[in-house]
Amino acid sequence: MVHNNDQELKEEVEETTEETEHSTDSVDDSTQTTEEDVVFEDVEVADDTSSKVEELQKELDEMSDRYLRLQAEMANMRRRNQREKEDIIRFRSQSLAKELLPALDNIERALSIEVDTEAGKNLKKGIEMVYDSLLQGFSKEGIEVIDPLGEPFDPNYHEAYTQVPANEDQESNEVAQVFEKGYKLHNRVLRAAKVSVTL
């Protein structure tokens, strides 16, 4: 009876030992699986963070590029506005000068008339003084006369009315006669000179 109990006890101990070993193996397996899962999770988190960093870097680069472009546009606008202001100041007398040109032409025609009387000479002298004053005012504003007699024809400053045969002392494409003087304000033509050109 005692012997049987010993045998039973021994079997129970062996079973318990086997169960313990089996459960330990299970624990080891579960622990190993958990560690592997943690490693994979770390890799996934690192990949996710890396892709977010790349996206953010791309956005930052785009914003920086946009900022630089806007700065360049603003600088160009400032330069353009400055040039426009300078042009407004420089060419402020353009419209008035264009309005005065026909009057100046009429004064020149009046001065070309020959006078014999003393009163006529005095009147002509007064007209010359007015003409000179107008030319001085034009000069102060940067307006120059274009009187190209004998110069080579330049379509930027001259308007050809007719063509005439060249004389012995003239070259081809030369201004032979000025019908109406031209005027320019700095580098801008107010009116081209009306001329005849040699063949």
Q: What is the mean pLDDT of the chain?
A: 82
Q: In what order do the strands lie in the sheet with 182-185?
A: 143-146, 182-185, 188-191
What integer pLDDT is reported at residue 13 of this predicted model?
A: 56
Round to whole Å and give the CA distance between 196 and 164.
7
Q: Which CATH architecture has domain 91-198?
A: Roll (2.30)
* pLDDT at position 44 over 60: yes
Q: What are the start-end ranges of the H helices in 91-149?
A: 94-111, 118-140
What integer pLDDT is reported at residue 91 of this predicted model?
A: 83
Q: Where are the domains of the chain?
A: 1-90, 91-198
Round to whole Å and give the CA distance between 182 and 133.
18
What integer pLDDT is reported at residue 130 of this predicted model?
A: 94
Q: What is the pTM of this model?
A: 0.59
pLDDT tens, residue by residue, 155-196: 999 999 999 998 888 888 999 999 999 999 988 999 999 999
* pLDDT at position 23 over 80: no
* pLDDT at position 136 over 90: yes
Q: What are the start-end ranges of the H helices in the chain?
A: 2-90, 94-111, 118-140
pLDDT band at 10 (very low <50, low <70, confident <90, very high): low
Round to whole Å and give the CA distance between 193 and 199.
18
